[in-house]
Structure 1
Amino acid sequence: MSEVLRAAFVIARRDFSAVILSKTFILFLLGPLFPVVIGMAFGGLGEKITTEGLRPTVGISMSAADAARMEGAYRIIADRLGGEKLPRLQRAPAGDPRALLARPDARFLAVVSGTVERPVLTGKASDLAWLEGDISLIASAALAGERLPHVRVEKQPVTASAGADAQSRMLTGRAAQVLIFLLTMLLAGMVLSNLVEEKTNKIIEILAAAVPIDAVFLGKLMAMLAMSFVGICFWGSGVFAAILTFAGPNMTPPTPAVGWPLFLLLGTVYFTMAYTLLGSLFLGIGAQAATVREVQTLNMPVTMGQMVVFFFATYAVDHMGSPSEIAGAIFPFSSPFVMIARAAQDAAIWPHLLAIAWQALWVALIIRFGVTLFRRHVLKSGPARRRGLFRRRSAPAA
């Protein structure tokens, strides 16, 4: 066993150095930043389009005094509720509202005329049903004016709220689930294609001739896990710096039930378990592929299966102690996601010790299964050897 571990460390150091010292590793580290930047840019653009371009415009065809009262009431309500929740008001020329709406250059969805006491809204029936409540609210505030009573609200702050704490802890657990899932899928999926080039160049056969095949499998898994932690440290430092820059040092995030130090430690352990479970399975399955096309074919069903597992784990967040949550904690591939959510909501430590031991047992079983697949297929990459999973048998000779 010591010989296998020693050889595995040699393979891990070789693969880790080859990945870290390559020029493409910088692109790998910067890769997740591009979707974030593009998402922020398109999110801001979409919000601007929604708040500016999609808000209806209502023309005000009233006297100057009534129009000013409507605009003043609109500003007061917009300051409280947000302007994006109200239609835009724009003064329109005096005249028949029907004629104003029929003009080719009109950009009004509807026109409000009459007086503040008796407003008249003109437009299509569907638009009137949509805008009636907003115009009624604005006119009521304009009519009240200075007579609008101002009720002073007495504030009574408390140091803790059980409902608010429970909600924030549930959101923390859900965020930790999503983070571990995204990191696992982003990083574990790389091991599917890890062997294709080496099998094509027959490097894997040279390694297998020098060290036990089990050591090759474990070494590659350890190297990819170590590379994953390098990426996580880089991305985590960037996120932490962004939080300090934009949120400030006085920001107080919600505290998980087990506390932040233990929660981060459990998050690291559960990510390692999830990565090792999925990575060893990926490595064993990927050993059967001989081309990139076969890797892509294998990647789709595995990814879809993991998505189903993740959705099952997210459902269990809101149902702690239920049969679905217990089943999610027992099923090995969903257990890390369910247990990290439990760590955010429940302060008990013993379930995590039990879950980690259970997951470690399944890690050993999945690694053994992956080594079996690895040993069976990794050396059968030559044309003269037995065909793999995706090879058709040749027609018998006539």
Structure 2
Amino acid sequence: MRRLFLILRREYLAYLLTPGFLLALVTFPLIFAASVLLPTLLSRQAPAPQLIVMDLTGMGPQGPGAYVAAQIREGRTGNLPQGRAPVLVQTPASLSTAQTPDAAGRAVQAYYKAFGQDPPPPAVLVLAGSAQALDARLWTPRARLLDLSGQLEDSLTDWSRETRLRSLGLSSEAIRAVTGSGVSITAYSPASRTGKVTLTDRLPHLAALGVSYLLVTMILAGSGMILTSVVEERSSRVIEVLVTSAHPAELLLGKVLGILCLFFTGLGALAGAALLIAGQLPQGAVQESVRAVLNGGLLGWAAFFLAFGFLLYGSIFAGLAAFCETPREAQSLATPLSMLMLIPLLLVISGLQAPDSPILRAAALFPPFTPFLMLLRIADGAPAWELATGISLMALTTAGAIWVGVQAYRTGALTQGSANLWSILRRSLQRQG
């Protein structure tokens, strides 16, 4: 036990006293804030899309083109890409002579070819037909994922509905009374503190999602640190001396626990700073978010699953790294495990929409995914048997991973040559035999 503690302290202090650790403490909150604020900032700084409306229906002021233009000018726009409303542009002379959608399409292509790409030309909405069979075509200079289709479809659907109601004899006032009416639903739940479901009640689920992402990030980063440390010791032959001085289990667990303590130190520092900052802010979303993490023991569960996840993956990474002569070999073996850890993130996102999905509940009991998915199940009130089963399976798997990692570490420390997955398994089994 004393040697285990000495190895743990060595690994812990080796990273704690480096400038990189202090730099990470400062940069991590900045990177997190940038990831939240940067998309909004980019959206606000992006120029508003331009739009040309070509109405070939011949309906004049009552046509769909005039309706869409009025909605844009009055700011009655709903489904906007990136929250940016389009700006209307006058139809150029080269497009005004088109009489059919096909002719308009050919004219738009020639217009784009002559316009250039910097700045990009405006989008062109070509309308033809009638309210019963409206032909709407949106031409864009680039085939982007985000365009104006959603907003324009809503506007044209409203126009078609109002036109048909007017043909049935309804007045404009009656149409506005019908289309403007709506019903809002207020959600209630006995699980809510106030009875009425608010964002505060949903914050634990969002906090569980954020913490799950954080766990994956930390376990990936920590496993990479373990990988690098073991490969350096093996390439410098230090590992051979260490194996003769301490038991392989002490060496492996000392490395894993040392880096785990390092991450707990960083988390403690960040959590303390967040609490101090939140305490100085007025009552609002920030304080509610902090309470969502602290209430219900979510922070304690996060630390618990971080420890088990780190032991699980760290032991495997350390065992594999013991067979590698270079970081490149280690990365080739570690890549499949790293990709495996990304699967729970996809399930967590889906779990916010379907928390009771049988697939999610089964995946939360799958030990490699339990440290990440069980947090979401806890936030959703998982039954005691599910939590106990998940923890038991994860504990058994972690113990098995430590045992396998120790055997691989012992065998790899005294093995020469490049890493090979099948040779790793064969040599480990021969060692046990």
TM-score (norm 1): 0.69
Residues in 2 aligned to 1:244 and 1:376: alpha-carbon distance in whole angstroms: 52
* Matching residue within 396, 417, 420 for 1:387: 417
Residue 336 of structure 1 and its aligned partner are, at CA, apart by 2.1
Mapped pair 1:127 → 2:138: yes
Residue 337 of structure 1 and its aligned partner are, at CA, apart by 2.4
Residues in 1 aligned to 2:186 and 2:136: alpha-carbon distance in whole angstroms: 46
Q: Give the direction of change, closer, same or farther, for the CA distance of 1:25–1:180 in structure 2 (3 Å limit).
A: closer
Encode CA deviations 1:151-181: one digit per residue, 9 max, x unaligned. 7989989643569898665544444433322
Residues in 1 aligned to 2:21 and 2:214: alpha-carbon distance in whole angstroms: 21
Residues in 1 aligned to 2:51 and 2:263: alpha-carbon distance in whole angstroms: 49
* Matching residue within 239, 250, 259 for 2:284: 250
1:78–1:86 CA contact under 8 A, matched in 2: no
Encode CA deviations 1:225-263: one digit per residue, 9 max, x unaligned. 111212333444566678778x8532234987x982422
* Matching residue within 315, 319, 324 for 1:280: 315
1:77–1:138 CA contact under 8 A, matched in 2: no
Residue 312 of structure 1 and its aligned partner are, at CA, apart by 5.5
**Counterpart of 1:109 in 2: which secondary structure?**
strand
Residue of structure 1 in register with 2:412 after alignment: 377
* Unmatched segments (≥5 aa) in structure 1: 113-123, 381-385, 394-398
Instruction: Supply the AA of the counterpart residue of 1:12.
Output: L
RMSD of aligned Cα (Å): 5.0
Residue 305 of structure 1 and its aligned partner are, at CA, apart by 2.6
**Counterpart of 2:88 in 1: which secondary structure?**
strand
Residues in 2 aligned to 1:48 and 1:284: alpha-carbon distance in whole angstroms: 49
1:313–1:334 CA contact under 8 A, matched in 2: no
Instruction: Supply the AA of the counterpart residue of 2:138.
Output: D
Residue 376 of structure 1 and its aligned partner are, at CA, apart by 0.8
1:284–1:374 CA contact under 8 A, matched in 2: yes
Q: Give the direction of change, closer, same or farther, for the CA distance of 1:156–1:202 in structure 2 (3 Å limit).
A: closer
Residues in 2 aligned to 1:156 and 1:377: alpha-carbon distance in whole angstroms: 62
Residues in 1 aligned to 2:35 and 2:86: alpha-carbon distance in whole angstroms: 27
Residue 373 of structure 1 and its aligned partner are, at CA, apart by 0.5
Residue 35 of structure 1 and its aligned partner are, at CA, apart by 5.1
Residues in 2 aligned to 1:315 and 1:90: alpha-carbon distance in whole angstroms: 41
Q: Which of the pair has the greater relative contact order for Cα pairs under 8 Å at 6+ separation?
A: 1
Instruction: Supply the AA of the counterpart residue of 2:86.
Output: P
Residues in 2 aligned to 1:274 and 1:309: alpha-carbon distance in whole angstroms: 13
2:223–2:314 CA contact under 8 A, matched in 1: yes
Residues in 1 aligned to 2:291 and 2:38: alpha-carbon distance in whole angstroms: 32
Residue 220 of structure 1 and its aligned partner are, at CA, apart by 0.7
Residue of structure 2 in register with 1:189 after alignment: 224
1:199–1:290 CA contact under 8 A, matched in 2: yes
Residue of structure 1 in register with 2:255 after alignment: 220
* Matching residue within 314, 320, 335 for 2:356: 320
Residue 389 of structure 1 and its aligned partner are, at CA, apart by 2.4
Instruction: Supply the AA of the counterpart residue of 1:134.
Output: S
5 Å-filtered alignment, 1:5-84, equals 5-30=1-26, 32=28, 36=32, 39=35, 43-44=39-40, 46-48=42-44, 52-53=48-49, 55-58=50-53, 74=72, 76-78=74-76, 84=83
Residue 388 of structure 1 and its aligned partner are, at CA, apart by 4.5
Mapped pair 1:109 → 2:124: yes
* Matching residue within 239, 246, 249 for 1:211: 246
Residue 365 of structure 1 and its aligned partner are, at CA, apart by 1.8
Residues in 2 aligned to 1:148 and 1:330: alpha-carbon distance in whole angstroms: 53
Q: Give the direction of change, closer, same or farther, for the CA distance of 1:290–1:338 in structure 2 (3 Å limit).
A: same
Which stretch has the larger CA shift, 291-300 or 178-187? 178-187
Residue 18 of structure 1 and its aligned partner are, at CA, apart by 1.2
* Matching residue within 395, 408, 412 for 1:360: 395
1:285–1:370 CA contact under 8 A, matched in 2: yes
Residues in 2 aligned to 1:108 and 1:303: alpha-carbon distance in whole angstroms: 42
Mapped pair 1:88 → 2:87: yes
Instruction: Supply the AA of the counterpart residue of 2:419.
Output: L
Residues in 1 aligned to 2:338 and 2:54: alpha-carbon distance in whole angstroms: 53
Residue 327 of structure 1 and its aligned partner are, at CA, apart by 3.4
Residues in 2 aligned to 1:23 and 1:300: alpha-carbon distance in whole angstroms: 28
5 Å-filtered alignment, 1:124-273, equals 126-127=137-138, 134=155, 159-161=194-196, 170-236=205-271, 248-251=282-285, 252-253=288-289, 260-273=295-308
Encode CA deviations 1:179-198: one digit per residue, 9 max, x unaligned. 32222223223211121222
Q: Give the direction of change, closer, same or farther, for the CA distance of 1:259–1:207 in structure 2 (3 Å limit).
A: closer
* Unmatched segments (≥5 aa) in structure 2: 99-103, 116-120, 128-134, 140-147, 163-170, 189-193, 424-433
Instruction: Supply the AA of the counterpart residue of 2:39.
Output: G
TM-score (norm 2): 0.65
**Counterpart of 1:56 in 2: which secondary structure?**
strand
Q: Give the direction of change, closer, same or farther, for the CA distance of 1:309–1:72 in structure 2 (3 Å limit).
A: closer
Mapped pair 1:331 → 2:366: yes
Instruction: Supply the AA of the counterpart residue of 1:127.
Output: L
Encode CA deviations 1:286-324: one digit per residue, 9 max, x unaligned. 1111111112212212212333455456666735373x3
Instruction: Supply the AA of the counterpart residue of 2:124.
Output: L
Which stretch has the larger CA shift, 338-347 or 233-242? 233-242
Q: Give the direction of change, closer, same or farther, for the CA distance of 1:162–1:49 in structure 2 (3 Å limit).
A: closer
